[in-house]
Amino acid sequence: MEALEMFTSDRNADVYTEELKLNLGPQHPSTHGVLRVELAMDGEIITDSWCDIGYLHRCAEKIGENVTYLQFTPYTDRMDYLASMNNNLAWSLTVEKLLDVEAPERAQWIRALVAELNRIASHLIAFGTYGIDLGANTPFFYAFRERESIMQLLEKISGARMLYNFIRPGGVANDIDDAWMDEVSAFCDDFEKRWVEYNTLLTDNFVFIQRTANIGILTKELALSNGCTGPVLRASGVKWDLRRDVPYLEPYDECEFDIPVGEGTHGTLGDCWDRYWVRMREMIESVRIIRQCIEKIPPGAHMEKSMVKMYKTPLKPPPGEAYVRCENPRGELGFYVVSEGGNSPIRCRTRAPSFCNLSVLDKLLPGTMLGDAVATIGSLDIVLGEVDR
């Protein structure tokens, strides 16, 4: 009895406790690249968060100021390496604006077609890896099956499987033929059936909904104040898409498609499930655009004639500046370029969507559990290649 009283009194004595500092990454699958997130933990609860980037920094912008305009095109492939076509497009449009040149009509339709194919391929990675983040491995293999089909299609016209360097200032590197477009149509027919399988595997899965609904809630106000764009912004209820609101290619002005937004279907508007579901629906909208591109693509040249002559010598845009933004799979990608008349820009800056979307992470994590941090990071669908540039 005496020993019990001594033990009880010891347990009631003041105990000194402190927060645990936990490093999530930089070498961790759930950070989707070399991202380090320092977490302050009170047990399983996150009390504070600090994002630490820079582990992949490659000075891409500075390189852009020391190579020619055409030489920098392959570097854009390697920023968001899951959406190379889209990066090529934004850079090419910026250079064309400097040169006051417009790509031929056929080239614009080809650009829209391949950009939407690449958007689907990118979203398939987001779908597959997000399943792995939350403990579902099977969707990853399903996603890679269809992504492989897209990579084979794009390899046929560009010669590369992932880093395409296909869209170039003045147009596209190669023309496409009817046989290739027939293959794209066949892919679209098959993909719509496969998309139903994805929803059976993950979208309607009870455990998946429990892990994502009401988790990582990003309000409209917070998204706008942090410059979030793309699916991350639209999942918070903001119907903003450059393809519709600021069309940068003729096809986007002529094609019919919807802009999916979050609706709080299973939880609160702007949660992880909404961000996931917006990307899933965008893939179907991309299929709609691709079908219309195939149907409406006009005959003609795939490269502006004046640019063919310029390609024989380094491009030298007149002095001036240009900024162009495009709707990439992860949001608004923008290039700002300043020319002094030389064969390379004196300023080359990038507005990377993943960088801006990542800025809200430290505001979403406090108050959640450690497992929710993995779900939140995955729902932002970041690529560190464009965050660090």
Domains of the chain: 59-388 (1.10.645.10)
pLDDT of 354: 94
Q: In the structure, what pLDDT confidence band is assigned to residue 1 with cuts at 50, 70 and 90? A: very low
Q: In the structure, what pLDDT confidence band is assigned to residue 5 with cuts at 50, 70 and 90? A: low
pLDDT digits (tens, 9 = 90+) for 86-133: 999 999 999 999 999 999 999 999 999 999 999 999 999 999 999 999
* Mean of all residue pLDDT scores within the chain: 91
pLDDT of 166: 94
Distance of alpha carbon 157 from alpha carbon 172, whole angstroms: 10
Q: Is the pLDDT of residue 12 over 70?
A: no
pLDDT digits (tens, 9 = 90+) for 329-363: 999 999 999 999 889 999 999 999 999 999 999 99
pLDDT of 10: 55
pLDDT digits (tens, 9 = 90+) for 123-141: 999 999 999 999 899 999 9
Distance of alpha carbon 168 from alpha carbon 172, whole angstroms: 5
Would you state the structure tokens that stand for residue 67, as one six-digit string? Answer: 């190579």
- Over the chain, what HEC string results? CHHHHHHHHHHCCCCCCCCEEEEECCCCHHHCCCCEEEEEEECCEEEEEEEECCCCCCCHHHHHCCCCCCCCHHHHHCCCCCCHHHHHHHHHHHHHHHHCCCCCHHHHHHHHHHHHHHHHHHHHHHHHHHHHHCCCCHHHHHHHHHHHHHHHHHHHHHCCCCCCCCEECCEECCCCCHHHHHHHHHHHHHHHHHHHHHHHHHHCCHHHHHHHCCCCCCCHHHHHHCCCCHHHHHCCCCCCCHHHHCCCCHHHHHCCCCCCCCCCCCCCCCCHHHHHHHHHHHHHHHHHHHHHHHHHCCCCCCECHHHHHHCCCCCCCCCEEEEEEEEECCEEEEEEEEECCCCCCCEEEEECHHHHHHCCHHHHCCCCEHHHHHHHHHHHCCCHHHHHC
Give percent of the chain above pLDDT 90: 83
End-to-end CA distance of the chain: 68
Give percent of the chain above pLDDT 70: 95
pLDDT of 4: 45
Q: In the structure, what pLDDT confidence band is assigned to residue 14 with cuts at 50, 70 and 90? A: low
**pTM for the whole structure:** 0.92
Q: Is the pLDDT of residue 3 over 60?
A: no
pLDDT of 11: 54
